[in-house]
Amino acid sequence: MHDARALLTPAAFGGVVATVIDNNPGMDEAMATRIVTEAIKFVDAATKFPTTKITPSRVVDEGWHALILHTAPYAEMCGRLGRFVHHYPERPDPGRHDARALARTAALIEQAGHSVDTELWTGPAKVLVPVAANCSHTPKPGGCGPINPGACGSHGGSQGS
């Protein structure tokens, strides 16, 4: 296993952690560091398994949002990984939560060579820490998923699958 944080410079990593802290008043640096680290692992897995529908947990999505806000380091990281991972959010809907998708995502993160911080990969009813991120990613045909937008309600299609 390798250190996902090495995919960003220390300064860039620190900047992303600071963004998570700024967006989530009261969050400590240790938790923000864990969240950003898992988001980097998620992006790495998304580049390695581009045809598999995966999804971040709501907590990890907070880290992904912060990564995306740091456009230059995010683009450089994606370039090193060989693929740019776009973010296609859907309106929040707890009814779309798919525990199997989170389990599949965690398994692919491990296949990509990372350990998984399982406390951060829970469904919306069991979040370890509240975060500002408030979008969903439906990893199924007809849903958006983080890589390929589908015909979901948020992007002009129906919400049925």
Look at the chain and report how many structural domains it folds into.
1
Is 8 inside any structural domain? yes
pLDDT tens, per residue, the chain with 161 residues: 578 999 999 999 999 999 999 999 999 999 999 999 999 999 999 999 988 888 888 899 999 999 999 999 999 999 999 999 988 777 766 666 678 888 999 999 999 999 999 999 887 666 666 665 656 555 444 444 444 444 444 444 443 33
Beta bridge partners, 90, equal: 136
Structure tokens at 70: 């740091």
Distance, CA of 8 to CA of 70 (rounded, Å): 11
Cα-only R_g, the chain? 15
Instruction: Provide the b/e sequence for 16-48 (b: ≥16 CB within 10 Å).
Output: bbebbbebbeebeeebbbbbbbbbbbbbbbbbb
Residue 70 lies in a domain: yes
Global pTM reads: 0.81
Query: Is 161 part of a structural domain of the chain?
Result: no
pLDDT of residue 96: 66
Range of the domain at 15: 4-155
The closest of 32, 30, 7 to 17, measured between CA atoms, is 32
Can you say whether residue 130 is alpha, beta or left, with left for phi > 0 and alpha for psi between -120 and 50 degrees?
A: beta
